Amino acid sequence: MRRLRELALVPALVALIVLGAFVNENFLSYANIISILGSSAALAMVVLAESLILITGKIDLSLESVVGIAPALGALVVIPAASAGFGLELPTAVGLALIVVVGALVGAFNGFLVVKLRLNAFIVSLAMLIVLRGLLVGATKGKTLFDMPEPFFALATTTFLGIPISVWLAAAAFGVAGFFLRYHRLGRALYAIGGNPAAARAAGIRVDRVLLGVFVVAGALSGLGGLIQTGYVGAINANQGANMIFMVMAAAVVGGIAMDGGRGTMSGALTGVLLLGVVTNLLTLAQVSSFWIQSIQGAIILVALMIARVTTGRAQE
């Protein structure tokens, strides 16, 4: 029964795929499936990161800004001043490492404010979202960065067995996180903290330390998501990641991650991501006018939420 709940979205996903196959003959083509997966990989990484935080009963909205600022800083220290960089021209590897480090640092800072100073996670991360967005615009002076060395795009452009590395990476991340959440004591600690922090503490779980760690990991994963996005787009513009958090929250919640903590699985979150990916792809294939695409996307998310509510019989406060 509990297993079934996690898969509540699968019927909706199957229905959409069947519908897609009828609507457009190219939908089930190899190229299109790769396209859906490739375009969903960055979202998947951030949904994974946000899900970890949501399970502990917290929230981090600023992950979407990390998607922009982390790869941008990584690029700015590598590319020459002539291409709008800082002119440091550090080795590419340093720039790539910096992407993950920046994400982790932002997560650590958010975690510090939320866990140690006991500030409200929603407001803190909303403020951080705005600050980081501003930093990205400031650091790039609003310009688009594209003169990065090839490794910055490799995740999206290199393939293994015909599938982009970014998709393999996201799949591996979900696999590891899923295993961790199910079979590792730290993963189980996330559920305990989200379900009842006082009980978790009384059972010897170091609640503050675990929470801080989750924020750091989520930041680093979002940085990676930003790198994938960079490869997929082929550049970093000053808007990278903007408004992405809405899709992230939608995918997580549609996928059964509880907003109030303690519930949700990686397989659920993954179906949430795939559902949104398929919807976006279908709307594009159906050549829906870009003026209308957002409202339709939003409506489909609402319907998916209602389906999930009915099939799981569970309130999603």
Partner 1 sequence: MSAPLVEAIGVGKRFGSTVALADARLTVVPGESHALVGRNGAGKSTLVSLLTGLQAPDGGEIRFGGEPAPPLADRDAWRARVACVYQRSTIVPDLTVGENLFINRQPLAGFGRISWKRLRAEGRELLDQWGVEVDVDARAGDLAVEDRQLVEIARALSYGARFIILDEPTAQLDNNEIERLFARMRALQESGVTFLFISHHLQEVYEVCQTVTVLRDARWIITAPVADLPRAALVEAMTGEATALGEGVTESRVGPDVPVRLAVSGLSGDAFTDVSLAVRRGEVLGLAGSSASGKIELAESLVGLRTPSGGSAVLDGEALPFGDVRRALDAGVGCVPRDRHHEGLVPELSVGENSAMTIAGRLGKYGVIAPSRLRAHAERAIADLDIRTEGPGQPVNALSGGNQQKVVMARALATDPRLLVLINPTAGVDVKSKEALLAVVDRIRAGGTSVIIISDELDDLRPCDRVLVMRHGSIADEFPAGWHDHDLVASIEGVTRD
Q: What residues make contact with partner 1 under the rule CB under 8 A?
A: 183-186, 188-189, 191-192, 195-196, 198-206, 262-263
Q: Which is nearer to partner 1, 133 or 263 (CB)?
A: 263
How many whole angstroms separate alpha carbon 98 and alpha carbon 75?
A: 9
Smallest gap, in angstroms, from Cβ of residue 186 to partner 1?
6
Q: Which is nearer to partner 1, 199 or 299 (CB)?
A: 199
Smallest gap, in angstroms, from Cβ of residue 304 to partner 1?
23
How many angstroms from the chain centroid is the CA of residue 224?
9
Smallest gap, in angstroms, from Cβ of residue 196 to partner 1?
5
Smallest gap, in angstroms, from Cβ of residue 193 to partner 1?
9
How many whole angstroms separate alpha carbon 286 and alpha carbon 297?
A: 13
Smallest gap, in angstroms, from Cβ of residue 249 to partner 1?
21
Q: Which is nearer to partner 1, 150 or 260 (CB)?
A: 260
Q: CA dihedral defined by 4, 9, 12, 16, rounded to 10 degrees?
A: -130
Q: Which is nearer to partner 1, 34 or 188 (CB)?
A: 188
On whether the CB atoms of residues 257 and 271 are closer than 8 A, the answer is: no
Give me the residue label for tokens 């949501």.
Answer: 54
Q: Which is nearer to partner 1, 52 or 148 (CB)?
A: 52
Closest-CA residue to 74 (of 95, 94, 56): 95
DSSP category for residue 262: S
Smallest gap, in angstroms, from Cβ of residue 69 to partner 1?
32
DSSP category for residue 143: P
Smallest gap, in angstroms, from Cβ of residue 272 to partner 1?
20
Helix axes 30-55, 266-285, angle to 10 degrees: 140
Q: Which is nearer to partner 1, 18 or 203 (CB)?
A: 203
Give me the residue label for tokens 């998916």.
Answer: 304
Other CB atoms closer than 10 Å to residue 280's CB: what's the count? 19
Q: Which is nearer to partner 1, 284 or 316 (CB)?
A: 316
Q: Is 265 exposed, middle or buried (0-12, 13-18, 19+ CB in 10 A)?
A: buried
**CA distances, 121 to each of 39, 109, 211, 223 (Å):** 29, 12, 12, 19
